[in-house]
Structure 1
Amino acid sequence: MIPDQAIALCRWSTQIDPLADSLQRKWLRRAGALTAGLRKLGRLELGVIRQTTALPTLDEQLIMRLTSRQPVHIREICLSIDGQSCVVARSVVSLPSRRGLWQAIGQLGRRPLADILYDDRHVRRSAFETGRIHSPHPLARLALSSEPTSSGNRNRTFWARRSVFWRGGAPLLVSECFLPAFWAIATTESSTNG
């Protein structure tokens, strides 16, 4: 499938899908750094899956207000809680911004983006868009490759959210996808804390 068709693989919306339960709604709309919330659930580890230059999907281009399909810098990571893959994330930034206003991304290594986003008064965040994604959307493919139990079931859907961080007019798109193991851990934590 060509990247342009990925736009049809998720209906992003500022309104949460009515099929989402209360726990899903809570996490899909959670403000602040997602990693801060995940750390409350257990030992958090971040693994960098890949960093590359590629064309954005059409839905990425549109939300970032990019005027043409030029290559972008893509960083894909997996966040694990107590050794279980729970969230995958994909950040996208234009190459000029990666070398300019967002150059700190190149020094992150295994640190989360939150380390450069939330203490910078020049950064503002858009409203969240949420949706249910499925393969072959790049975020769904990332989720499937990070979830050992999904092999053989390529038709899974995942809850995801995304927002754009703006710094000096330069957009940085962050999309986060919650894996089934996350919901199991969050449900246990929620029932434990009443």
Structure 2
Amino acid sequence: MTFRFDVSGRRWQAVPAPALPRRHKDWLTRGGALTRHLGALGRVSVRVVAERVMPADADQCRAIGVAPRTPMWARDVILLLDGEPVVVAHSVTPLTHSRSIWQAMRRLRTRPLADLLYHDPSVTRSVLVSSPLGPRHRLHGRARHDARDPLVGANPRARLWARRSVFLRHGAPLLVTEAFLPRFWRRLQATEAAQTGQAARARLCASGSKAHA
């Protein structure tokens, strides 16, 4: 079977919106494993929310070129940073491939998907695209009901910034979508503010030492 990909779709863009904060643009376009990047900020763990068969929706049909309502194998997880949910993710591949080329994703348990994707030279990745997700998207529901982000709970219409890409292994597609929770951006902002404060104090100490030299 030949797949035709349109990972960008109608709402997904390879270049983030110009008005987005720099930190958003950075994380929405970072290559490599998201869990590795998160690991630089703290201890990363994976909570599996659901693994199930589901029919392909219209967006998935466009993204990986399958027929409407094709049976898909889906895996929904929450990525936690020091025990705090920061990302909700949805991975999906045609059911037939979950029993063959991508069968290892059925055995991951609480290991990150990155264990399969970044240690296999036969796996290639499409461009990363990003989009704000509204309340009707499945990951928005995960953020409200499973990750229980307080800002999403207080404002159910709040949009979540997400990124996605298609991984190919021997021609079989795996669509991965990762949505960042508001608490992630708050944590990142607090970390950046603390680092800025430390740098400012270091400069003051250095200038004070020179003045007394």
Q: Would the TM-score normalized by the shorter structure come out above 0.5?
A: yes
1:147 aligns with 2:148: yes
> Unpaired segments of 5 or more residues in structure 2?
1-9, 197-213
The range that moved more, 11-20 or 178-187, is 11-20
User: How far apart, CA to CA, are the structure 1 residues paired with 2:55 and 2:135?
Assistant: 18
Distance in 2, Cα, partners of 1:132 & 1:18:
13
Distance (Å, rounded) in 1 between the aligned partners of 2:92 and 2:22: 29
Aligned counterpart, 1:5? none
**Aligned-partner SS, 1:91:** strand
8 Å Cα contact 2:74/2:90 also seen in 1: yes
State the partner residue of 2:115: 115
CA distance in 2, matches of 1:63, 1:189: 35
The one-letter code of the counterpart of 2:148 is: E
Partners of 2:61 and 2:78 in 1: CA distance: 23
Assess if the C-alpha contact under 8 Å between 2:73 and 2:95 holds in 1.
Answer: yes
TM-fit CA distance, 1:193: 4.1
**TM-score normalised to structure 2 length:** 0.83
CA RMSD of aligned residues (A): 1.4
Match of 1:185 in 2: 187
Percent of aligned pairs sharing the same letter: 37
Q: Is the CA contact 1:147–1:179 (under 8 Å) kept in the aligned structure 2? A: no
Deviation at 1:152, TM superposition (A): 4.7
Task: Kindly provide the CA deviation profile for residues 88-132 of structure 1, in whole angstroms up to 9, marking residues without a partner as x.
Answer: 000001011000100110110000000010010000000011000
> In the alignment, which residue of structure 2 is the partner of 1:93?
93
Cα distance change of structure 1 residues 80 and 122 upon mapping to structure 2, 3 Å threshold: same
Letter in 1 for 2:78: C
Q: How far apart in 2 are the matches of 1:133 and 1:178? A: 10
| C-alpha separation in 1, matches of 2:173 and 2:149 | 33
Given that 2:149 and 2:181 are in contact with CA atoms closer than 8 Å, whether structure 1 keeps it comes out as: no
CA distance in 1, matches of 2:187, 2:105: 29
Q: Which secondary structure does the structure 1 equivalent of 2:14 belong to?
A: coil
Q: Secondary structure at the match of 1:151?
A: helix
Alignment partners' CA distance in 2, 1:192 and 1:30:
23
Figure out how many residues of one structure are paired with residues of the other and give that number.
Answer: 185
Query: In the aligned structure 2, how far is the partner of 1:190 from the partner of 1:153?
Result: 25
In structure 1, how many angstroms separate the alpha carbons of the residues matched to 2:73 and 2:102? Answer: 11
Alignment-mate amino acid for residue 91 of structure 2: S
> Residue 109 of structure 2 aligns to which amino acid in structure 1?
G
The answer to which structure, 1 or 2, has the higher relative contact order (CA under 8 A, 6+ apart) is 1
Matched residue of 1:53: which SS?
strand
TM superposition shift of 1:57:
1.9
Inter-partner Cα distance in structure 1 for 2:85 and 2:113: 18
Structure of higher CA gyration radius: 2
| CA distance in 2 between partners of 1:105 and 1:139 (Å) | 19
Q: Partners in 2 of 1:104 and 1:192 — Cα distance?
A: 41
1:83 corresponds to which residue? 83
CA offsets per residue over residues 65-90 of structure 1, 9 Å max, x none?
11342110110000111121100000
Alignment of structure 1 residues 1-194 onto 2, 5 Å: 11-145=11-145, 146-149=147-150, 150-194=152-196
Instruction: Provide TM-score, normalisation by structure 1.
Output: 0.90
C-alpha distance in 2 between matches for 1:187 and 1:80: 17
Contact 1:55 1:71 in 2 (8 A): yes
